[in-house]
Structure 1
């Protein structure tokens, strides 16, 4: 067993592990984001090709996330000086100013708490993890990508919108759902509910267990 701390990997539905960390925008705490949704993502290393394209793309979706009351936080096991130099390099090369904080996690404390290091993938780098955390500090989604594959930003935005739709309306979202599409209502719990559903004009009933509806604007 190494000298590093070992943590139970967080799961969907868990309370987001607390952290206090140094970032490119000063020290932040996870509790600073109470009342907001937030996306915490890790990247393997500064000054690497895939990560650079991702940072540009994350910045591009930041305004849309903010409209959804959602903040964005990056992380890697690099120093704050490395982060700052890389961010300036991105601004010079792509004319893009990175406006979200990036955690300098040299101690691997945050990465360990959130299960961002997979030894069989890389023993020293954080992989490409994405955590979506709601305004009550509950983990709503976890996605992992390998070191070689850049993330799809449109899917991350779609995921946040779907999770917020579920939270606000107590519905589910079907495959390939985007805002404006029909949502899925919970299946009936009793025979009476199933019978009533067949006569509900507000629903598109495919079968007793599967019914769709449009949300009111």
Structure 2
């Protein structure tokens, strides 16, 4: 019996994913998580074969969760679900150790195939997704004048935008307060902004948090 972990902060999405997973006779849902921190804890506790993780989650987004699972539980394959068609997200996901990537709109049609491929330790990306990402890359590669934020900096931005203090962020990400302050300053410098309000607007624009 193969164990599948589902992580999404919307109950209706989790219910839909559970129904698809449980339609397969040899699969069982090992657990459900509603935020990034809980997802990592459940992955270590239940040892799933595949973790289906929403890109946009509270506390830790899907990329940070994927990075931690890849480090702490490398036998668990990760499938990122997202509604955002963004070449940067896929690039960052691959760097975080993700080997499966699927739009939420395609889940009903492709989820079983994606899980089957990942259970065989093969990557899964739909051809339509790859075509779009290639097109986006070709369109944008000449226009990237600013350095992208690192995965860690994105996590700090998300947590700041969610209202966490530097001390709270240091606890969640297992960093010192000084390191959090350094990341925050680096983000401000890279983005050319000077206030928390501007940082929140950036997080919303980049889909790091919901508006």
> TM-score normalized by structure 1?
0.27
Bigger radius of gyration, 1 or 2? 1
Give the number of the structure whose residues are more often strand, by fraction: 1
Q: Larger relative CO (CA 8 A, sep 6+): 1 or 2?
A: 1
Give the number of the structure whose residues are more often helix, by fraction: 2
> TM-score normalized by structure 2?
0.28
